[in-house]
Amino acid sequence: MKRIAVYCGSATPEDPRYMELAETVGRTLAERGIGVVYGGGRRGLMGAVAAAALEAGGEVIGVIPEALAGAEIANPDCSVLQVVPNMHARKQAFTDLSDGFLTLPGGVGTMDELWEAVSWSQLGYHDKPVGLLNAYGFFDHLLAFNRHMVETGFIRQLHTGIIIAERELDLLLTRMTAYEPHVPIFRMKATDL
């Protein structure tokens, strides 16, 4: 993987572990020669990922919608800062520019990005690994809900491996690198649906 899209919060939680996690992710990716594609902001976990990656000599591509860039939260320190018209264009750029997706703790926007990456993978719009760093058990309930969707038949058994979740970054990156794409819905027969 040459570049990974990192999805994470623009907020700065009171618990300092989350900012430290974001810094570790940014630094680790840069040290492994993996570029960061992210939301282009300079605040919260987003800013921490970017700053740590840049400090470690890594490539950082920020993709930010015009409305947010205009609100003066864009990070001018990025290797490349792309200003796009809207959130849809932003998520398409994440997909086009990256070789995989890595989700850290965050809020509604982070969840939107994660679920779109999963949905697009399931359908066949991309065949890239979708990683979830479940640090401190942050995503335990989300993973339980995902299992519930599988158990009730709303997610096909064939697609249960789309989300690659681990609590440790090194193991997650190893599993993402070894990811074997599944058969997407676009290539399935009607009788398989």
Q: Where are the domains of the chain?
A: 3-182
Beta-carbon-side half-sphere exposure of residue 141 (alpha carbons within 13 Å): 3
- Average pLDDT for residues 147-167, to the nearest whole number? 95
Query: Which residue intervals of 152-191 are DSSP H helices?
Result: 169-177
Note the residue count of the chain. 193
**At 184, is the pLDDT very low, low, confident or very high (cuts 50, 70, 90)?**
confident
- The answer to whether residue 117 scores a pLDDT higher than 90 is yes
Residue 190: per-residue pLDDT: 67
In this prediction, residue 46 carries a pLDDT of 96
User: Residue 72 — pLDDT band, cuts 50, 70, 90?
Assistant: low
pLDDT in tens, 73-99: 899 999 999 999 999 999 999 999 999
| Euclidean distance between CA atoms 159 and 182, whole angstroms | 7
The DSSP line for 6-70 is EE--SS--SSTHHHHHHHHHHHHHHHTT-EEEE--B-SHHHHHHHHHHHHTT--EEEEEEHHHHH
Between CA 26 and CA 52 the distance in angstroms is: 5
CATH architecture classification, 3-182: 3-Layer(aba) Sandwich (3.40)
Nearest residue to 169 (alpha-carbon basis) of 15, 10, 4, 14: 4
Task: Supply the pLDDT for residue 52.
Answer: 98
pTM: 0.94
